[in-house]
Every structure is written in structure tokens, then in C-alpha cells.
Structure 1
Amino acid sequence: MPETPRYAHPEAIVTTEWLAANLAAPGLRVFDCTTYLIYETGTGRPYRVESGRADYDKGHIPGSGFLDLQGELSDTSSRFNVTMPAPEDLAARFAAKGIGQDSRVVLYSRKNPQWATRVWWMLRAIGFDDAAVLDGGFDKWSVEGRPLEAAETRYPPAQLEARPRPGLFVGKETMQAAIGDAGACSINALSPELHRGEIPRYGRPGRIPGSVNVPAAALLDPASLTFRPPEAVAQAFQVVGADPSRRILLYCGGGIAATLDAFLLHQLGYRDLAVYDASMSEWAKDESLPIEQG
């Protein structure tokens, strides 16, 4: 009988019960990572990125700081909304927010955990492994009636050395080279409609040729926004041919939803994982790159 799938790194997913019991733990650093995408038409861009800071100021998990993904943790010289900075630069930015070598970090967001998984994947890319995502995020915490506070938390600056893991973020060249490669599996984390090319949100509608679709939203319980059980998540990837022996390349609209897929694949024990940072925000507008519909 095959072994029942399980999450290989349970320490990287924490419950609201655990967090409530450990809020005062020394070295714990909790951050609200909320960002919103405001979809627009007629502007020439797929969406406007809006910080969740205003909601944080209204009420957040006690003792948690705020991370502005676009404003504080992204390469602002990039033409894309959210782009991974150089590892040493990013480590310095995290350190300024209070994340140090000995910190235990818990990340959460509102409405969608993909913002927390994006920051988690960025921390992993610079070699920091003691981070976790709050299962169900702020929404579950709030629904359970747990305490909130409005006062801002600022942690003292810390020291954090970058120990980069090359290859966790990749560019269009890697994605193009994987087309037709039996040893690679490219996965689109966007909705089925976007995958099929029914909505021209990012430019040319469609997908990277040969890629398969595992929508990030399908990996969550829609009511609680918690991660689905390991066996359900494993099945979602297995049915599209995402075998652990293959290199798995994940993309979406801008390298956000793809990190949710990547986070859960890591939890399932997959080792060769990469996220296409610019994703369809770049691919769909580059006429030299192939695109597939249907």
C-alpha cells in the first residue's frame, strides 16, 4: 500500500492555536504581509498593487509588524510590480525589520495566503529557514475572535547574513528551455480561465506552451483559507504529471500565486522547485516568446 502523503516540514505551517500560545516567545517575529491586487482595465497594466498597511493599522495580530512587499521588499528598479532583489540587499531589508539569524518568523496575510508564501519563498531563497506561514492567516484568527491591536510593532534591527540558494527564482530563459523537456514540468498557478487563454489580463492571452494548471486557489479550503490536507494537495499535482523526479517550474501572473504552489510542493518533499519571478507579466508581453491557448 502506498504511503499516505504528509507534510514534510510541519514546523513551517503554524496554527492559530500555536501562535496564540507563543506570541510572547523570545525571538518570535510575526509579520502581516498583506497586499491587494486591484484589477483595472484600460490602463495597460493587469492590476494595481496596493499595500495592506491601512488594514494593518485598523487591527492586526498583537505584536506583529508589517511588511510592505512592493514598497520594502522588492526591486523598485524593475519594470515589474514585485521583483526579487539581490540576496544581500534583501537580507539587509529583512534585518532592518528585525529578522536576525536566531529569529523564529511567522508570516500571515489577509484574504489570500499567497502573500505570506511569497515572503516565505524569498526568505528561503536567501538561506533563511526558520520561517512559517500561519494557516488560515488573519481571517481565521479574526473569525475565531482572537485579540487584535492597532498599535504598530517595530522590532529592533538585527543581523542577517544572506546564504543564497541559486535557482529558487528563475527567468524567461529557463522557462523557454523547459518547453519540450521531459525532465521538467512547468505549472501555471493561475485560474483555469487564464490558463486556457480566455482572459487577456497580462497581454497576449494563454500560457507557456506545454505547461499544466494547478490553480493556487484549488489548494485552499475556500471557507477557512487553510491549506488543504496533504493527500488532496498531492493528488492535485500528481494528476498533472508533477512527479518529484522532474524539475518543477512554477509561474503565475507575477510570481505570487506560484509561491503558494511551491510552498506546498516543498511541504510534500519535492526538492527541485523554482518560481518564474516575472511570470506572465513578462511572458505575455514579449512577442518573441511562444504562447499556447485552449
Structure 2
Amino acid sequence: MDPRTAADTAAPLEPPGPVVTTAWLAEHLHDPRLVLVDASSVLNRTEEAIPGALLLDLDGPFSDSSADLPHTLPPAEQLSAAARGLGISGTSTVVAYDARGIFASARVWWLLRAAGFDRVAVLDGGLPAWTAEGRPTAAHAAPPAEPGDVELTARPGFFADAEDVARALRDPAATVLDARSAGRFAGTEPEPRPGLRPGHMPGAVNLPYTRLQGPDGRLLPLPELRARLAACAPEGHRLVTTCGSGLTACVLALGAHLTGRDDVRVYDGSWAEWGRPGPRPVVGPDGS
């Protein structure tokens, strides 16, 4: 039986920040105010889940089905309906995790904040950190019979389009950070999506999202996060983050937010859009 009183559960459950530890999650795992979601991509999803976790499909209801790009920002009405289907209410606290550590879970944090919902956090280290500590697992939970009541409204300033990126590339006070691997950035590794040109945007800076994490998949301590970001983008620069399709760009946005850098936008189309054949300039593997 949950020992909390009615007064305890009437007040919102406030996460300690945009990232929560496995210990915090274990302490609050059975709190009725918590909505725990597994945001793993289809390629990384496992049958094993943290008890009570619901599957959140970033390729399904949480993306714009009318777009010709992968898992792009859906309209606020669609996002609200998808969130309500997982039982998310205005007083809920959402914690997102991933089977790969921190990969797609940061996208949930960014999406909900972009839609006016701030009581959301990412599980540091994700499922691997949870299981490495011997904590229990189970099958994914079924969606609740009663939907939530959250109403989401788009906030400006969270996402960038291709024209925003082009302006940022020309702006000496801005940095475009690319979260893809060094090989994909250089164009020496193949892109996972067919038909895209190899390479990167001229003037972009490579900061693979894995560089913000330790070997255990947890985020680096704040001083190290700050140093790695500052080595790529001076303090005071506004940031546009990009990746292959808008997922791991949100990991860079999360790291920037943790270090107090809030002038950040995520390029939703990312390389899935920019890398298409067309007029957008690309620096290829030969340097041109």
C-alpha cells in the first residue's frame, strides 16, 4: 500500500531537475502522479521494461504523420491527444527513459517542454543504468483505461527550420552543433537513410551526443559538460542543434540546458532534410 497521504498526492510531484537518477525513480516508481514512458526507438526497443513503463512511440502518435520526414513535431492537438492516451494530465510528472542510455528520451523532454509542459525529466543512464544496479524489470504496462486531461500549447523558440539553420551558419554569434558521429559528419560513414548526401553543413561543428555521456551512458558531471560544450561553442553563442533526424540533437539541447545555456533550438528536419539532394550546401568527404 502506498503510504502517502491524500495531501501528499494532491500536490504535484516535482522532479529535482530535467534529469533524474535511478535512485529517485525507484523511490517514486509507484507514485500515482508519475507517468513513466519508454521512448526507445523501434530499433532499440526491448521487451524488458522498468515496472509500470508505457511505450511512447516517437515514430507514431508523437510525430507528424503528414510530414515526409521522420518523427517531426506534430500539431499541438495531436500531441495533446497522444499524451492524454498515456494518462498524462496537467498535474502529472513524466519521466522518459531509453534502452540505449540517453538517446531518444531527451526528445520527449524537449517535445513536452516545447508544448508548455515542464514537469518532465529524463532518466540518467536509461534502462542500462537501471538493470546494471539489479533493479526489477517487467513487461511494458498497458495504456490506462482513463485518459489524462493535459492540454498542450506550442511555445515558440524551441525548434528551427532549414532557413533558421542557414541564418545561424552565417551568424558569428551562433553555432550549429551536429550530434552525429564523427564519421557521418565527415561523410566517411554511410547515412542510415538512403538517398542522403554524405557530409555536413558548412560551418557546423561536430559534437557527437555520446561525448556528453560517460561509459555507463550517464551524463557527464556539469563541469565536464560545460567544458565540452564550450570547446565547440563559446559561452554566449546561441545554439542550433542537429543530428540525423532530430532525436540526438535533443541530447545536446539537454546538455546545454543543464549548463545554463537556454538560447537553443533543435533543427527538427536535421540531416534527413538538409542532406537530401538539392541546393542546400554540403561539405562532403573530399572537403568540398
Whether these two folds match at TM > 0.5 is yes
Aligned-residue offset at 1:242: 3.6
Aligned residue number for residue 86 of structure 1? 75
Match of 1:169 among 159, 176, 180: 159
Aligned residue number for residue 216 of structure 1? 209
Structure 2 residue 269 is the aligned partner of structure 1 residue 289:
no
Aligned residue number for residue 26 of structure 2? 20
Q: Distance in 2 between matches of 1:60 and 1:136?
A: 14
In structure 2, the residue corresponding to 1:122 is in which secondary structure?
helix
Superposition TM-score, scaled by structure 1 size: 0.86
The answer to whether the Cα contact below 8 Å between 1:51 and 1:70 also exists between their aligned partners in 2 is no
Aligned residue number for residue 33 of structure 1? 39
Runs of 4+ in structure 1 displaced over 6 angstroms?
Answer: none
Aligned residue number for residue 154 of structure 1? 143
Superposition TM-score, scaled by structure 2 size: 0.88
Aligned residue number for residue 226 of structure 2? 234
Q: Distance in 1 between matches of 2:41 and 2:252?
A: 18
Aligned-residue offset at 1:88: 2.6
Q: Distance in 1 between matches of 2:49 and 2:233?
A: 40
The answer to whether the Cα contact below 8 Å between 1:171 and 1:277 also exists between their aligned partners in 2 is yes
Aligned residue number for residue 262 of structure 1? 253
Larger displacement relative to structure 2 (104-113 or 196-205): 196-205
Which amino acid counterpart does residue 150 of structure 2 have in structure 1?
L
Q: Distance in 2 between matches of 1:124 and 1:176?
A: 25
- Where structure 1 has 5 or more consecutive residues not aligned to the other structure, the ranges are 1-8, 37-49
Aligned-residue offset at 1:198: 1.6
Q: Distance in 2 between matches of 1:145 and 1:197?
A: 40
In structure 2, the residue corresponding to 1:249 is in which secondary structure?
strand
Q: CA RMSD in A?
A: 1.7
Q: Distance in 2 between matches of 1:151 and 1:273?
A: 33
The answer to whether the Cα contact below 8 Å between 1:184 and 1:246 also exists between their aligned partners in 2 is yes
Q: Distance in 2 between matches of 1:136 and 1:83?
A: 24
Aligned-residue offset at 1:83: 0.9
The answer to whether the Cα contact below 8 Å between 1:91 and 1:162 also exists between their aligned partners in 2 is yes
C-alpha spacing 1:185/1:68, structure 2 compared with 1 (3 Å): same
C-alpha spacing 1:131/1:145, structure 2 compared with 1 (3 Å): same
Aligned-residue offset at 1:179: 2.0
Tell me the alpha carbon deviations over residues 114-166 of structure 1, each in whole angstroms, 9 at most, x when there is no partner: 21101111011101000111111111111111111226232331111223211
Aligned-residue offset at 1:51: 7.1
The answer to whether the Cα contact below 8 Å between 1:188 and 1:211 also exists between their aligned partners in 2 is yes
Seq. identity, %: 36
Tell me the alpha carbon deviations over residues 238-271 of structure 1, each in whole angstroms, 9 at most, x when there is no partner: 112342x222000011011100000110111112
Structure 2 residue 70 is the aligned partner of structure 1 residue 71:
no
In structure 2, the residue corresponding to 1:70 is in which secondary structure?
coil
In structure 1, the residue corresponding to 2:167 is in which secondary structure?
helix
- Where structure 2 has 5 or more consecutive residues not aligned to the other structure, the ranges are 1-14
Tell me the alpha carbon deviations over residues 54-83 of structure 1, each in whole angstroms, 9 at most, x when there is no partner: x2xx33111111111102211112111211
Larger displacement relative to structure 2 (150-159 or 81-90): 150-159
Q: Distance in 1 between matches of 2:222 and 2:140?
A: 37
